Amino acid sequence: MLQKTNLATLAEMESEHAPSHSVFGFWLYLMTDCVLFASLFAVFAVMANQFAGGPSGKDLFDIPGVALETAVLLLSSITYGFAMLGAHKRKPGVVLVWLIFTFALGLAFLWFELNEFAHLIAEGAGPSRSAFLSSFFTLVGTHGLHVTVGLIWMAVLAVQIVIKPELSEREITRLACLSLFWHFLDIVWICVFSFVYLGSVL
């Protein structure tokens, strides 16, 4: 009887540590992403004045439009926070509603970004026009790709909640990892807005 109790206690301890291991592993992944974006920022810093006779950021960037795009992404971080509050209260319906809001805001952000890319390319300011534009499209496009992955991940989690509306520790851990990823993308975008957009027009 005592041996069974010890085994049950050990199993509970392992289950308690598993989520923390998962989150810790995801933190390690985010560190590799930090290195990736740091490298892209460094490349942009070197190429920021390499216009090859083409337009500069001051000629191209619509700061009010990018500010609106930034506000949309930051708002999505707040709505995801509400989803996490619902998750910790074990309210799958609340989580689902806020995930839908967050997904819509993320999709709007991507629309703004793709619209900007299309506008720049239509004006002849595509990534092949100059080193400045190549580094710009690479940095901003990489961030957009991460947002796309985050939206796919969010959609998968939402479908899982619809199919199985019971929030176990495993589901909450998955939501927490996506939360880290989404907030990380917000921080990166603030750096993009400040360093790339504002830094190019000032």
- Give the pLDDT score at 193: 96
Between 107 and 27, whose confidence is greater? 107
Average pLDDT, the chain: 89
Per-residue pLDDT reduced to its tens digit, 120-133: 999 999 999 999 99
Q: Reduce the secondary structure of the chain to three states and give it as a string.
A: CHHHHHHHHHHHHHHHHHHHHHHHHHHHHHHHHHHHHHHHHHHHHHHCCCCCCCCCHHHHCCHHHHHHHHHHHHHHHHHHHHHHHHHHCCCHHHHHHHHHHHHHHHHHHHHHHHHHHHHHHHCCCCCCCCHHHHHHHHHHHHHHHHHHHHHHHHHHHHHHHHHCCCCCHHHHHHHHHHHHHHHHHHHHHHHHHHHHHHHHHC
Domain 25-48+56-201 fold is: Four Helix Bundle (Hemerythrin (Met), subunit A) (1.20.120)
Domain map of the chain by residue range? 25-48+56-201
State the average pLDDT over residues 15-30: 68
